[in-house]
Amino acid sequence: MSTDVAPARSDVSPRRRSPRRWLAENALRIYAVLALGYIFLPIAYVTVFSFNVPGRTNLTWRGFTTTNWAHPCDAPDVCAAVSNSLKIGLVATLIATVLGTLMAFALARHRFRGRATTNVLLFLPMATPEVVLAASLLTLFLNLRLPLGYWTIVAAHVMFCISFVVVTVKARVASLDPRLEQAARDLYAGEFETFRRITLPLVAPGIAGAALLSFSLSFDDFIITNFVSGDVTTFPKFVYVSAQRGIPAQAYVIGAAAFFVSLLIVLTGEALRRRRPE
């Protein structure tokens, strides 16, 4: 006679996590969400109010419209200011990128007297308050009797952009594997051919990143530009002057468009990076 004994059913239920334990496990995620929300809140405000019905000021919501996006130049002088910022940013970026890249290669690849001092001096424009740089540059231009305007802004922007280019490109050059260039030389490639086919393609992402950083710094700068601009109005200067009587909605449109263009560039670069074979 056999007796079938049913297995005993366990009445032990899984222990629920306490709120304190859940908070400890997700504290970093919560902090990240709050930090990103704090960072992007002004951008969200600008984007939303770029669709606001134009008025004397753009501080209160009057209704939804797409007229501001269809006619971003309706506000007086706004497109002229943006054009000045774009021209100055492109010229300053080109000059700073070329000079900074050459300096980065010199500092990363060669030993010469004054190299350590040069490295220290390159960090000074990055660490010095902008108002100090602005006052110093204004004094220099006045002593040299240079008329304040377009080219003084370009010279000032090149001055502080070079440091960022050198630091960015130098880090990229220092990370290169020297055996790749040695292999090219072993295969009878000359110095120029090795640089064109091996070194430059490897350093190109760092140069591109430095150029984008320089352009964003130049386009965004206000303090130094306000000191040395004279009668030339850039977009940040236009926004500052307009704030006294009410920033037009078209300025919000340009600000939102600049953000979305930057976002598109970042997403495109990330997509290309993911598609690149490891």
Q: Are 240 and 225 in contact (CB under 8 A)?
A: no
Q: How far is CA 9 from CA 3, 4, 14, in A?
A: 18, 15, 14
Long-range contacts of 114-118 (CB under 8 A, 24+ apart): none
Cα 240 from Cα 159, distance rounded (Å): 23
d(CA 182, CA 179): 5
Which pTM was predicted?
A: 0.83
> Can you tell me the distance from the alpha carbon of 56 to that of 37, in angstroms, rounded to the nearest whole number?
29
pLDDT of res. 2: 52
Interval 141-164: pLDDT, tens: 999 999 999 999 999 999 999 999
The rounded mean pLDDT for the chain is 87
Q: What is the CATH number of domain 76-247?
A: 1.10.3720.10
Output the pLDDT for position 38: 93
Q: What is the rounded CA–CA span in Å between residue 217 and residue 133?
A: 15
Contact 226, 38 (CB under 8 A): no
> What is the pLDDT at residue 277?
63
107-121 pLDDT, tens per residue?
A: 988 888 888 888 888
Q: How is residue 196 annotated by DSSP?
A: I
User: Pick from 207, 181, 204, 197: which is nearest to 276 by CA?
Assistant: 204
At 172, list the tokens. 């990229």
The whole-number pLDDT of residue 92 equals 96
Residue 52 β-bridge partners? 64
- State the Cα–Cα distance between residues 104 and 108, nearest whole angstrom: 6
Angle at 70 between CA 64 and CA 73, to 5 degrees: 110
- Can you tell me the distance from the alpha carbon of 232 to that of 220, in angstroms, rounded to the nearest whole number? 15
Span 258-270, average pLDDT: 88
Domain map (residue ranges) of the chain:
21-69, 76-247
pLDDT (tens digit per residue) in 180-206: 888 888 787 888 888 888 888 889 989
